[in-house]
Amino acid sequence: MSLYDVSLRSQANYPYVTFYYYKEWQDFAMELHEHDSVEIMYVMCGSCKIELEGETLHLKKGQFIIIDANVPHRLHVQSEKKCRMANVEFAFRPGVTNYLPFKQVVEETPSLLQMLCDYQPYLLFLDSNDIYGCLKNVILELDKKGTSTDFMVQLLLSQLMIRISELANRNDYAPEQNLYNKKAVEFIHQNYDRDIRVKDIADAVHLHPGYLHRVFKETMGCSINHYLILHRMKKAKELIAQTDIRITDVPYYIGVNTQQYFSTIFRKYTGNTPMEFRREQQRLHLQSDDFIKK
């Protein structure tokens, strides 16, 4: 059953663990597979790659992913690297226990309701809300052979999902997007004067270009290329207005290879040619000087 199935918010279902482990992987390539359970994979140390939805995600220490039920995926760990992971897979079933049904947990937790109303085949996070501690408690409880109870497992799973939803809905975090967007913006600001592509930016923040493009646009409201152009035009205007650099040299200061393309894009974003913009700035500067003298 999908984590986003509406019946989880309308009928009495209870979470239960179908599989779990602590494990260190090396030189491992899992077959593409899917299962009926929701899976949480947490990288405790090292790094790995997870392929799903046509993307390759690179996970490092402190990152974790939630993969919805029936989403094909595979884990890959390179031979020269190691990756220690904690994993819990869980599903839902109807029944009666001493614990609250999951729908009531959702009803009482606005952040969880908000997260579950927006279907995502997977969610990728950087832990900053003690998620590892909650996940570890689930696994330790399951390891209590003969003494573990459905009540405690359901309680701990619910706590885990609540903490994850709080992380997902923090305004200053917005899952992993803000972290990667910040790194992408920093890379652009530091390298805009070079010939860079989306792939270069994605490599710098260790994400698949397609995934970075999607989360950047969702969070920033524009594509990476559009943001790069805007930043280059901002720098071009500063150079034209505040320096005596020749107009023909400006493109090479901002990572644009041809004068013709620079002139076309500058006019599109400013409404003036580079030379018109410089003349207008010089005129405004003279007017300002005359005003000060008076």
Q: Is the pLDDT of residue 42 over 70?
A: yes
Q: What is the pLDDT of residue 188?
A: 93
Task: Write down the H helix ranges in the chain.
Answer: 102-107, 110-116, 131-142, 150-168, 177-191, 198-205, 209-220, 224-242, 250-253, 259-270, 274-293
Q: Is the pLDDT of residue 240 over 50?
A: yes
State the DSSP H helix or E strand holding residue 16, giving kind and residue range, or none if neither.
strand 13-29
Q: What is the pLDDT of residue 147?
A: 62
Reported as a single tens digit per residue, the pLDDT across 168-227 is 776 444 445 567 888 899 999 999 999 999 989 988 887 778 878 888 887 777 899 999
Domain ranges of the chain: 6-168, 177-287
6-168 homologous superfamily: Regulatory protein AraC (2.60.120.280)
Residue whose C-alpha is closest to residue 154's, from 258, 17, 293, 49: 17
Helix (H, G, I), strand (E, B) or coil at 124: strand
The structural architecture, per CATH, of the domain 177-287 is: Orthogonal Bundle (1.10)
Reported as a single tens digit per residue, the pLDDT across 260-271 is 999 999 999 888
State the DSSP H helix or E strand holding residue 78, giving kind and residue range, or none if neither.
strand 73-94
Q: Give the least confident one: 77-91, 171-185, 229-243.
A: 171-185
Residue 269: phi and psi, rounded to 5, are -95, -15
Residue 143: phi and psi, rounded to 5, are -75, -10
Q: Would you say the pTM of this structure is higher than 0.85? A: no
Distance of CA 269 to the CA centre of its chain: 29
Q: Give the least confident one: 11-20, 73-82, 210-219.
A: 210-219
Helix (H, G, I), strand (E, B) or coil at 176: coil
Distance of CA 151 to the CA centre of its chain: 33
Reported as a single tens digit per residue, the pLDDT across 32-41 is 999 999 999 9
Residue whose C-alpha is closest to residue 269's, from 283, 284, 254, 282: 254
Q: Give the least confident one: 51-65, 83-97, 162-176.
A: 162-176
For residues 38 and 104, is the Cβ–Cβ distance under 8 A?
A: no
Number of residues that this document lists for the chain: 294
Range from 18-32, 86-100, 119-133 that averages highest in pLDDT = 18-32
Reported as a single tens digit per residue, the pLDDT across 120-156 is 899 888 887 689 999 999 999 998 866 657 888 899 9
Q: What is the pLDDT of residue 148?
A: 58
For residues 38 and 44, is the Cβ–Cβ distance under 8 A?
A: no
289: confidence class by pLDDT, cuts 50, 70, 90: low
Q: What is the pLDDT of residue 253?
A: 93
**CA 240 to each of CA 193, 207, 259: distance values in angstroms, whole numbers, following the listed order:** 15, 35, 14
Q: Is the pLDDT of residue 294 over 70?
A: no
Q: Which long-range contacts (CB under 8 A, 24 or more apart) does 176-179 make?
A: 176/63, 176/124, 176/125, 176/126, 176/215, 177/215, 177/216, 177/218, 177/219, 178/219, 179/126
